[in-house]
Amino acid sequence: MPSAALRHDLYGQVRDWEQNLYDAVGWTDNSMGEATAHSELVALIFAKDDLQPAEWQELFGSITDSYKRHSKDLDGVAIAHVCFLDQIPTSAASGRVGELRISATKPPTLRECKTFTDSQNLQALQKQHHVEILLQPGSLYAAHRTPGLAVFDMDSTLIQQEVIDELARAVGLYDQVAAITEAAMRGEEPYTDFEASLRARVGLLKGVPTTIWEQLKDGPITFTPGASELLRVLSKLGWKGAVLSGGFTPLAEWVKETLGLRYAYANHLVTDPALDQLTGELVDGKPIIHGLKKRELLLQIAKENGLEPENVIAVGDGSNDLPMMEVAGLGIAFNAKPKVQDAAPSKLNSKTLLDVLYILGYTKEEIDAALAAPS
């Protein structure tokens, strides 16, 4: 077990690793604020199982030792601060979400954080302790305290379903739509890009009554656990929200209104007003919301609000979300496909979207207070 000093932020005391973890870790001042140094690496550890104090102790030390070897900063790397974001300071138990700040001689970049995340040592630690570790530069972590822009994909992110699949299933066309989707994923002609496969699938929807949208809202479409609470907290803290979807405007607008988002962009379907049916076409002149368009829209919305990229987060699950993740201050692959998790700047596999707030450095106390505050 490593022997290293911990700075106890609340009492200004220095304790040793050999002391009880409750004294050394649990009761620090876990408000992040401006205390995060720009030269720090911040590791957020999400435990999938209940970890005992000794396991947390070992894990914090092992991550620090691994970063020391990875960065070759043998003298400058040290533990600066530890706490549990999901426990109030007077609690008597370890938490599920640990925050570890590691001081370093040279401030890490987000790309360097990603490289360290993908290293064999850190991958082995995550498997050994059944945890997920998300790394950020201290400067970026501190920047989250300034309210910014939160951009989300819709399908399998804010909602639990893929709309095109549920739409097709509701009208008995699931197999045909799925066949096009699978061909597109294999790169088969003529579905070699997002627009071609989208137009082909939309074409199958000709004659579907427009009442299908209400049918989907009342039936199979469900919000991802934590989505409503996450957006309520972000709104109360001053963040602006946007949904950028490769799906369709009737549901994207509904998601926007239901969750209190500021912006919604999705694909526009042509309807026949005389028959109240879909024509199987996309509206001419309206942009197709593919990956590069999501990137463009994120930058556009940020500019309109006078925000720098570091004050933008982007959350999604698909490959068409990667372009917007890469230009945001922090891109998060949420319960994403393996290839997307490998390519994304960071990843989070969780049962609830509310965990995104811990990634931004907010504590359980702050989250509970925001949820309890009047709108």
By the 8 A CB rule, do 125 and 59 touch? yes
| Residue reference for tokens 């359980």 | 364
Tokens at residue 55, please? 């396991």
Question: d(Cα 17, Cα 76) in Å, to the nearest integer?
Answer: 18
Q: Is 174 helix (H, G, I), strand (E, B) or coil?
A: helix
Look up 73 and say whether it is catalytic: no
Strand partners, 133: 45
The region, left, alpha or beta by phi > 0 then psi within -120 to 50, assigned to residue 130 is left
What is the maximal distance between C-alpha atoms in the chain? 76
Tokens at residue 66, please? 């691994």
By the 8 A CB rule, do 264 and 253 touch? yes
Q: Is the dihedral of CA 317, 259, 139, 298 positive or negative?
A: positive
Q: Is 17 helix (H, G, I), strand (E, B) or coil?
A: coil
From the candidates 155, 317, 321, 355, give the one annotated as an active-site residue: 155
Strand partners, 103: 40, 78
- Listed in sequence order, the residues at least 6 apart from 149 whose beta carbon sits closer than 8 Å to its beta carbon are 239, 240, 241, 242, 298, 301, 302, 305, 307, 311, 312, 313
Question: d(Cα 275, Cα 4) in Å, to the nearest integer?
Answer: 73
From the candidates 9, 49, 75, 153, give the one annotated as an active-site residue: 153
Strand partners, 13: 8
Look up 153 and say whether it is catalytic: yes
What are the residue numbers of the active site? 153, 155
